[in-house]
A and B are shown apart, each in its own frame.
Chain A
Amino acid sequence: MTITKGEPAQQPTAARQVKAAPTDLRRGHVPNDGTAGAAAIEQARSAMLRDTKPTKRSRIGADVVCEALLRQGVDVFFGYPGGVVLPLYDVLGDYPELRHVLVRHEQGGAHAADGYARVTGRVGVCLGTSGPGATNLVTGIGTALLDSIPMVAITGNVPGALIGKDAFQEIDINGITLPMTKHNYLVRNADDLPRVFAEAFHIARTGRPGPVHIDITKDALQQETAVQHPSPAEVIAGLPGFRPNFDGHPRQLKIAAAEIARAKRPMILAGHGVLHAEAWDDLRAFAEKTSIPVAWTLLGIGAMAEDHPLAYGFMGMHGWKHVNRAIQSADLLIAIGMRFDDRVTGNVRTYAPYARIVHVDIDPAEIGKNVAVEVPIVGDAGRVLRALTPMVDATPLGDRSEYLEQLAEWRAESEASSWHGSGAWREGVLTADFVVERIGELTNHAATYVADVGQNQMWLARYLGFRRPNSHVSSGGLGTMGFALPAAMGAALGQPDRETWAVIGDGGFQMTFQELMTLVQDRIPVKIALFDNKKLGMIRQWQEIFYAGNYHSAHLLGPDFAKLADAFGIPAFRACTPDEVDPAIEAAQAVDGPALIWFEIAETQNVFPMMPAGKGLSDLIEKWDGPEE
């Protein structure tokens, strides 16, 4: 076939019919803005999809990978090609239902898969090549492990015969991911691929979710294979060592119910497990029946709508004072799907000194790991709550009036002192809490909000006012700076019907902003709220309070972010005063596609209250004027 420049290539018709209408399938969730640029991108993409192999070829390992992804319901995954995964890229065009998003760095791909998983509850998938492609995924896999995110990370490896020979781009990635995945595989034979992929997805999403890594040699991707995909029953039978327990033990549930009946000052601590189990309705029903207030961890945000009368607030190091105070005075903590992380408890010796603890978690290893508990219950948050609710007596709000009134009083006091920080926004100072609160209001609390790490993360958690489950995305366990932008990319593709906002500091933004180009190329409509205080804000805050103001490396030079966004073709807006905030947010919302708002916020605002490391929940610092001599 000869292709004349400037003329469309003659289409080989047999292949064409099979690949009909791929674009409609894949582009439903990307707005079509009708610009010339968009048309060009569309054209390039369609051309890429049509440039496929003749259909009459044999099935190879790479086909098995694509088939397996489709069987598992994957509609989009994030990858970056390289020498040893080219066999996979060679067949990708034959699977137009499988959308591949070309990221700008593998770390971005892993975080995007993570963000996708967090908002959908499905398994996120990312792909990298061997060597550096694989090691670049590692931070994203670690982030997923610490936050129990269902993810399958795929890497290529050098051909089996070259393994162990220090071949080009060879690294022992299997050894690297071994301690930071729920499970991992090295596949050297295409015949193993169907089983391994089925197992990997099953492991990633079953029980306590987590990342699974599959390393595939190049020759395994190229080998022909006729092995069929196993049934779910065969997968389970093939994993005798993986039998998570979902239902709480009836005897333990009875004991828990008795504890709840006795308690005068009970408090529910809701964690990420409630969201994983999709148990938000069960949680609300349980809380309403027993009139027990609910506090939440960072990753438990959204388990209870914040405008619910029994929703009490965000706990922990930067949590609300009234919440921590309530925990310190509680006589019973009902912890559901949370793990008593040090950011939640502070010094364990002084944690909740009057409380007995009922701890519900699907992972038995979490129970008794950080704090000793009186009533351990191993099980899925939803199933345990559904079993427990009928066993507890209905307690009307009136029966707890004294307790709830005291909590309300503490709350009013704490919100008056820390809501909107110093209230400096009234005097024209642009404070971060004000911006977060306005984003919440103007998006009607209905968007997906993705936090980076540091002060911006805490401001978002404290002030946005979350109403919906899985509307908050944050790297809690690993605390990965640079997380927000790529994770928002995945979140936006996972929940295309919701607006997606990324709240990022100037530090984290400068770690992964190359993904701006991915947003443009794939027309992913993420709104970026860049909080620029020209500092590594949380570092600066710690240095101010704990290191006598020795601000080494806290000042961070940044570019002209508006010009930067412009260079990527992303509309940018800037706000330097409180008056400019609402117009900037509204302008960004009006953009069909990604947009960036550059908030030049107060440079030295701190997040308060704050629990010093090693101290207890009763030792909160609420303001800081420098050490008094």
Chain B
Amino acid sequence: MSDSAKDEVSARANGATPGPAHSAPPTRALPGSGEVHRHILVAIVLNRPGVLNRVASLMRARNFNIESLSVSHTDQPDISRMTITLLGDDVAVEQVSKQLYRLIDVLKVQDFSGEPTVEHELALIKVRATDSNRAEIVKVAELYRARLVDIADGSVIVEASGSEAEVDAIVALLRSYGIKELVRTGTAVMARGSASIEEALKR
């Protein structure tokens, strides 16, 4: 359609405005603040075949921007815990929780961002090492309370744990020696204090 035709369409607008004829109607706010933050969601799920697939599929289909997703056992054999870190504004993250709740296998979802938590992840970093710099690498590892878990001809494996930022820092430092291989578990998170997301299920 030509521009003039588009104008034509607008010109046929027939809005009814109870306010003064000359004032444009107010604009409806879209849901959400639009301020994007990193959020950590913990989902307690039934340990059934396909549950990870369901969660991952939902995230993709709903266009949610997730950074990491990890699954682990809990103290109850039939229940698993998923930790999801994602970027989004308040409403987007609320939508993720609500959509997760729609899954039959999801028992509980909690947004841990803004709460006092312990946040830890573990990394294994295989670093190039020579006889001349191995001692130096050991020192760097000690500084970060990391440790060497394997020493071989030409390389060492450093096991580092801590918050995501701490692990980022040691990875950055070790990069100068040459990282051959890197694996990170993703963040594990738990609220401080005596409250328990698992106990909350047993109501």
CB within 8 Å: A-B pair count: 121
Inter-chain contacts of B58 with A (CB < 8 A): 179
Q: Is the CB of B26 within 8 A of A353?
A: yes
Inter-chain contacts of A328 with B (CB < 8 A): 15-17, 25
Partner of B12, one of A182, A203, A325, A622: A622
Q: Is the CB of A621 within 8 A of B15?
A: no
Given A354-B25, A548-B2, A618-B15, answer yes or no on A240-B30 (Cβ-Cβ < 8 Å).
no
A203-B104 Cα distance, complex, nearest whole Å:
9
Inter-chain contacts of B15 with A (CB < 8 A): 325, 328, 616-619
Interface size class of B (residues with CB under 8 A): 35 or more
A335-B2 Cα distance, complex, nearest whole Å:
38
Inter-chain contacts of A552 with B (CB < 8 A): none
Inter-chain contacts of A363 with B (CB < 8 A): 102
Which of A252-260, A344-352, A379-387, A448-456 touches B? Answer: A344-352
Inter-chain contacts of A326 with B (CB < 8 A): 16
Minimum CB distance partner of A369 in chain B:
B95
A407-B61 Cα distance, complex, nearest whole Å:
41
Secondary structure at the A interface, as helix, strand, loop or mixed, is loop
**Taking the complex as formed, is A241 at the interface, i.e. its CB lies under 8 A from any CB of chain B?**
yes
A620-B15 Cα distance, complex, nearest whole Å:
8
Q: Is the CB of B18 within 8 A of A354?
A: yes
Given A241-B106, A369-B31, A622-B14, answer yes or no on A627-B8 (Cβ-Cβ < 8 Å).
yes
Contact with B along A50-64 (1 / 0, CB 8 A): 000000000000000
Q: How far is the CB of B92 from chain A (nearest CB, A)?
A: 10
Given A349-B28, A352-B28, A354-B25, answer yes or no on A612-B54 (Cβ-Cβ < 8 Å).
no
Q: Is the CB of B1 within 8 A of A629?
A: no
**Taking the complex as formed, is B130 at the interface, i.e. its CB lies under 8 A from any CB of chain A?**
no
Inter-chain contacts of B57 with A (CB < 8 A): 178-179
Inter-chain contacts of B12 with A (CB < 8 A): 619-622
Q: How far is the CB of B131 from chain A (nearest CB, A)?
A: 49
Minimum CB distance partner of A185 in chain B:
B50
Q: Is the CB of A546 within 8 A of B1?
A: yes
A618-B28 Cα distance, complex, nearest whole Å:
14
Contact with B along A106-149 (1 / 0, CB 8 A): 00000000000000000000000000000000000000000000
Contact with A along B5-29 (1 / 0, CB 8 A): 1001110111111110000011111
Interface residues in A, total, Cβ within 8 A:
50
**Taking the complex as formed, is B99 at the interface, i.e. its CB lies under 8 A from any CB of chain A?**
yes
Q: How far is the CB of A358 from chain B (nearest CB, A)?
A: 15
**Taking the complex as formed, is A174 at the interface, i.e. its CB lies under 8 A from any CB of chain B?**
yes
A149-B29 Cα distance, complex, nearest whole Å:
31
A615-B12 Cα distance, complex, nearest whole Å:
12
Q: Is the CB of A368 within 8 A of B31?
A: yes
Q: Is the CB of A619 within 8 A of B9?
A: yes
Q: Is the CB of B104 within 8 A of A178?
A: no
**Taking the complex as formed, is A364 at the interface, i.e. its CB lies under 8 A from any CB of chain B?**
yes
Partner of A627, one of B2, B16, B94, B104: B2
Given A241-B103, A348-B28, A371-B31, answer yes or no on A364-B98 (Cβ-Cβ < 8 Å).
yes
Considering only residues 321-353 of chain A, those with a C-beta below 8 Å from chain B are: 321, 325-326, 328-329, 348-353
Inter-chain contacts of A368 with B (CB < 8 A): 31, 91, 94-95
Q: How far is the CB of A627 from chain B (nearest CB, A)?
A: 3
**Taking the complex as formed, is B132 at the interface, i.e. its CB lies under 8 A from any CB of chain A?**
no
Q: Is the CB of A353 within 8 A of B1?
A: no
A179-B57 Cα distance, complex, nearest whole Å:
7
New contact pairs (13) apart from A618-B25, A619-B15, CB-CB < 8 Å:
A183-B103, A325-B14, A348-B30, A351-B28, A353-B17, A365-B101, A368-B31, A368-B95, A547-B1, A548-B2, A617-B15, A620-B13, A628-B8
Which A residues lie at the B interface, using CB under 8 A?
Answer: 174-175, 178-179, 182-183, 186, 203, 239-242, 265, 321, 325-326, 328-329, 348-354, 363-365, 368-372, 410, 545-548, 612, 615-622, 627-629
**Can you offer 29 A-B residue contacts whose CB atoms are under 8 A?**
A174-B50, A182-B104, A203-B104, A240-B46, A241-B103, A241-B106, A265-B18, A325-B15, A326-B16, A328-B17, A349-B30, A354-B26, A365-B95, A365-B102, A368-B31, A368-B94, A371-B28, A372-B29, A372-B32, A545-B1, A548-B5, A615-B9, A618-B15, A618-B16, A619-B9, A619-B10, A620-B14, A627-B8, A629-B2
Closest 9 pairs (CB-CB, A-B): A618-B15, A627-B5, A353-B25, A365-B98, A325-B16, A372-B31, A183-B104, A329-B16, A241-B107
